[in-house]
Amino acid sequence: LKYFSQNPKTTTTTTATNPTTYDRSVTTRINDDPRSWATMDPELKKAACDGNVKFLTKAVDSAKPQDYWLSRFIPTQDGERCAGNILHLAVWNNRKTFVTQALYLLREEDVILRQLLTQRETAGELSNSTPALLAIKKRRTGCAEILTEGSRAELIKNLLDDDGNSPLFLAVQNGLPTVAVNLLACQAPLDGRGPGGLTALHVWQIGRA
């Protein structure tokens, strides 16, 4: 993995630079969490999609319950492809600042933040992706880097999507070296699988050829 060490990307973050230590055993499918069955507040959905940090800050200050933050948006209209929690929606719309501020503002709500980071959405076109995996797939570079920073990577490193893609495999395949380095810093075991028996190392070797 010499390529990544020679080609680092620099990321500047001002608030969410010291992630909370999370429970690495959490592997939540969003369908299995009763707290996420509630329909998302339309204003919260709009804020996540638009990157409205001002709304987010007010909502946090108003001490909303867990169900509010863990609610999900499920598309009901033809043509809507995004779904999931507020981090999924922000990633889909490439709202890095919203993602960064959500991680910072909810840092004291360990249970909420852990669930948001590990929830795997099945609706829309997400194919059972966590917010981090969605960011890697869609090449939302800034979002992917912040969502795999520090101990956040430990939470999602081995959560595959429905196609058998691991975060590390997709990070290498999609040319996201900082994300790959974030994941490689995780403790073993680290899943690097992709579909059809390929691994992240295969993709890296092909890229060097």
Q: Over the stretch 53-101, which tens digit does the pLDDT of each residue have? A: 999 999 999 999 998 999 999 888 767 788 999 999 999 999 999 999 9
Give the Cα separation of 179 and 9 in Å (integer).
9
Number of domains, the chain: 1
What is the pLDDT, as a whole number, of residue 31?
62
**Does any domain span residue 111?**
yes
Q: Which amino acid is at 1?
A: L
Give the Cα separation of 30 and 125 in Å (integer).
14
**Does any domain span residue 158?**
yes
What is the pLDDT, as a whole number, of residue 36?
63
Residue 172, domain CATH: 1.25.40.20
pLDDT higher than 90, residue 125: no
| Burial zone of 64 (CB within 10 Å; 0-12 exposed, 13-18 middle, 19+ buried) | middle
**Does any domain span residue 21?**
no
Q: Which residues contact 149 (CB under 8 A, 6 or more apart)?
A: 11, 13, 16, 17, 19, 182
**Does any domain span residue 84?**
yes
Q: Cis check for the bond before 189: say yes or no (omega within 30 of 0).
A: yes
**Does any domain span residue 49?**
yes
**Does any domain span residue 23?**
no
Is 142 in contact with 176 (CB distance < 8 Å)?
no
What is the pLDDT, as a whole number, of residue 162?
84
Domain with 72 in it: 2-10+28-208
Q: Where are the beta strands (DSSP E) in 109-180?
A: none
Q: pLDDT tens digit string along 128-155?
A: 899 999 999 999 999 999 999 999 999 9
**Does any domain span residue 22?**
no
What is the pLDDT, as a whole number, of residue 165?
86
Give the Cα separation of 181 and 4 in Å (integer).
7
Q: Which amino acid is at 123?
A: A
**Does any domain span residue 67?**
yes
What is the pLDDT, as a whole number, of residue 85?
95
